[in-house]
Amino acid sequence: MENNSIENMFCMTLGSDNVRLHEPMKKHTTFRIGGPADYYLCPHSTEELQKILQICRENKLEFFILGNGSNLLVSDKGYRGVVIQLWKNFSDIETEDNTITVKAGALLSKVAAEALEESLTGMEFASGIPGTMGGAVMMNAGAYGGEMKDIIREVTVLTREGELLTLSKEEMNFGYRTSVVKEKGYVVISAELQLRKGDREEIRKVMDELKERRVTKQPLDMPSAGSTFKRPEGYFAGKLIMDAGLRGFSVGGAQISEKHCGFVVNKGDATAADVLGLIGEVQKRVQEKFGVALEPEVKFLGEF
């Protein structure tokens, strides 16, 4: 089908204000890197999302679900497919007793603030993770000893065929930075969190302490995608990189953070090729020096 017909179908489904062509992805990732996506769509509802997936299936279009773009490196060539952003339009948060029901596009920081307001504990670890609920569920995001699997009760997803499923915590098959959502390419619609009543001031104190640790130790003032590498069993990626003498090491505009060696940062003009080259050099040197294989935690989108 001709591209303008596909564009028309997307516009009829979402309204033209929510459809963009050749959208620069550097505007939508925390790395501030990435070429144009063929189509960039912002649905408001599950029904609109189902229709988008149907159009993609019928026209053999690849698609990618984007949240806050906080754990993503997009190719300099962009993405030949459909980027579907579930963020501001898809971010409702509802609380009832000890349960918070969260749409996939809600920022974790907003969910943690809601939990604090309701004196609910268990979400503190995620208060500073710069992602959305959908991405956090898919990757079983974690920090400071907590993981999403600790607080998930159930998750509603769309299959790639557009079927709605509600999965229990056990059916989510959570592992380290993975889940059945990642394994099967499902799309997270919402998640139900089971928290516990706590003392609001104690919850606030823990969140403030974790924020202080982040501000002190992480390069939050520079564009990055968070922790670049997964934690190798028995080691810390940042320490291995530091001990390999790579603090501040650069390839083009990409640099190992001088503040925290687990982060690759964009000094201002980095390309995806720079980041990929830096990741490869780090993997090579750490493997040579310590015999440890570092695996990227960052997701890659497009042709590299």
Parallel/antiparallel/unpaired status of strands 99-103 and 187-194: antiparallel
Q: Is 227 a catalytic residue?
A: yes
CA 155 to the chain's CA centroid? 17
Asked if 47 and 24 count as a contact pair (C-beta separation under 8 A), the reply is: no
End-to-end CA distance of the chain: give it in Å, rounded: 27
Query: Which tokens sit at 114?
Result: 């809601």
Options 179, 224, 227, 257, the catalytic residue: 227
CB neighbours of residue 232 within 10 Å: 15
- Three-state SS string over 206-269 comes to HHHHHHHHHHHHCCCCCCEEEECECCCCCCCHHHHHHHCCCCCCEECCEEECCCCCCEEEECCC
Q: Is 177 a catalytic residue?
A: yes
Options 177, 179, 192, 224, the catalytic residue: 177
Assign 119 to helix, strand or coil.
coil
Q: Is 57 a catalytic residue?
A: no
* Strand partners for 256: 264
CB neighbours of residue 222 within 10 Å: 17
d(CA 287, CA 266): 24
What angle is formed at CA 234 by the lines to CA 228 and CA 236, rounded to 5 degrees?
A: 30
CB neighbours of residue 235 within 10 Å: 14
Catalytic residues: 177, 227, 297
